[in-house]
A and B are shown apart, each in its own frame.
Chain A
Amino acid sequence: MSRQGNRAGDPRKVNGELFTLTYGALVAQLIKDYENDEQVNKQLDKMGYNMGVRLIEDFLARANTGKCNDFRETADVIAKVAFKMYLGLTPVVSNWSTAGDEFSLLLESNPLTEFVELPPGHSNLNYSNLLCGALRGALEMVQMDVDVRFVQDILKGDNITEIRLKFIKRLEDAVPVGED
C-alpha cells in the first residue's frame, strides 16, 4: 500500500487487485442471480448510478474544480482528472460528434477486467457497465443528463474499449414553491 502512496498518506487505500477481484465476484454473483445478461447490465448500471451520485461529491471536494463551461471541458475533466483519480488511468477523448454533444472515452486497459475472460454465451454482457452508471449518476448531480454506454470492449475481442457519452439535456435547479 505504501508503495503507491501518491495520494499522500491515505490509509484507506486498498490494493488494486483486491478491488478487481471484488468487482469480479460481484458480477459473477449477479450473473448467477439474474441469468439474463441484459438484466445484469441493468443492475450494474443501477449500482454504478448510486455510486456516482455519491462519488461526485467526493470528486468535487477533492478536485476543487469549478463548474465546466461546456461539454468539451466536462469531457476533459472526466478523462484527465476523474479517471486518473479513481482508476489511475487517463482515457483518450475522441470521436466528437459534429454538434459537440457526443464523445467517446477510449481505454486501452481497464483495471476492472485485468483477470477476466468472458466465457462463451455472454456476448450481451457489458462486464464493466458499472462505469457507465457511475458516469451517468455523477453527471446528473452536476445538472447534466447524459446517456452513457459501451460501444466496444476489449473483453469482446475489440481492439479498444470505448465508452460513448451523449449529452441529452441540462437539468435545472429546483424552483422554490411559489416562484416562477
Chain B
Amino acid sequence: MGTDQNRRRKVGLFPSKAAAQGSGNSIPNKNCCSALSRTKFTSQFSDSTVKMTIYNFYLFDRNGTCLYYVDWNRKKQMTMSKEEEFKLMYGMIFSIKSFVSRLSPTDMKDGFLNYSTSKYKLHFFETPSGLKFIMNTDLSVGSMKDVLHQMFSSIYVEYVVKNPLCSLDQPITSELFKNKLDEFVRALPQFAVKAGT
C-alpha cells in the first residue's frame, strides 16, 4: 500500500514540477487566465515560449479502418486500447462531418477542417476518395490543410499506392512509408518541439 502511494507520488512529481516552473516563467496569474487568452499570450510574445508540437496522426480509409497511427509527443498514458480509440475517433469524425454539413446554411466547399479544445487542436483532411487524415497538434499551430494534403500526395500516394505490395484496405506495415512520414513530420516547422527549453 505504502509503496504504491510512493510510486504514485513519484510519477506525479515530474509533470507538476514542470508545470510550476512553466507558470513561474511566463504567466504569474495563470489560474485566472482563460484558455483563450493564454493562447493569445503565447502567440504575441517571445517565440521561445511557444511550444508548437504535433502530437499524433491517424489515417483512416473509407471503410473506417485505421490504416496508420503514430504519435510523437503524446505523454499522457491512454486508458483505452488503440482499437477502441480508433473506433471512437472514426465515429466522432463521421458524426462531426455529417453534423457540420447538415447545419451549414449554404453548400460547403471545404466542410469540417479542425476544432480546438483548451489543450489541443485536431486537424482533419479528407480526399474525395474518402481517405481521412487526422492530426492533433498544440493550439498555436495554424491551418494544417496543406500539410495533410502533402502527406497524402507525396507520402501516401508515393509509398503506399505506388507500392504494389501494399494493399490499400489493410493497416500499412511498410517501413519505407513509416520512415518517410516520420521524417516529413519531424521536418515541419510546426513540429519545432521545445524550441525554448
Contact = CB atoms under 8 A, between A and B. Distances in A.
A84 interface: no
A177 B63 CA distance: 11
Nearest to B149: A64
Interface residues of B, number: 23
A60 B129 contact: yes
A58 B162 contact: yes
A53 B168 contact: yes
A66 interface: yes
Interface string A125-143: 0000000000000000111
B95 A179 contact: yes
- Bin chain A's interface residue count: 20 to 34
A8 interface: no
Contact of A58 (B63, B94, B157): B157
B128 A66 contact: yes
B95 A60 contact: no
Given A54-B168, A58-B162, A61-B152, A173 B129 contact: no
Contacts of A67: 128
B127 A57 contact: yes
A interface, over-half SS: loop
Contacts of A174: 62-64
A9 interface: no
Interface in B52-71: 62-64
Given A58-B162, A179-B94, A173 B128 contact: no
Nearest to A179: B91
Contact of B161 (A54, A64, A175, A179): A54
Contacts of B161: 54, 57-58
A64 B125 CA distance: 13
Interface string A62-76: 101111000000000
29 contacts: A54-B162, A54-B168, A57-B129, A57-B131, A57-B156, A57-B157, A58-B161, A58-B162, A60-B127, A60-B128, A60-B129, A60-B153, A61-B153, A61-B154, A61-B157, A66-B109, A66-B128, A67-B128, A141-B62, A141-B130, A142-B128, A143-B130, A173-B130, A176-B91, A177-B64, A177-B87, A177-B91, A179-B91, A179-B95
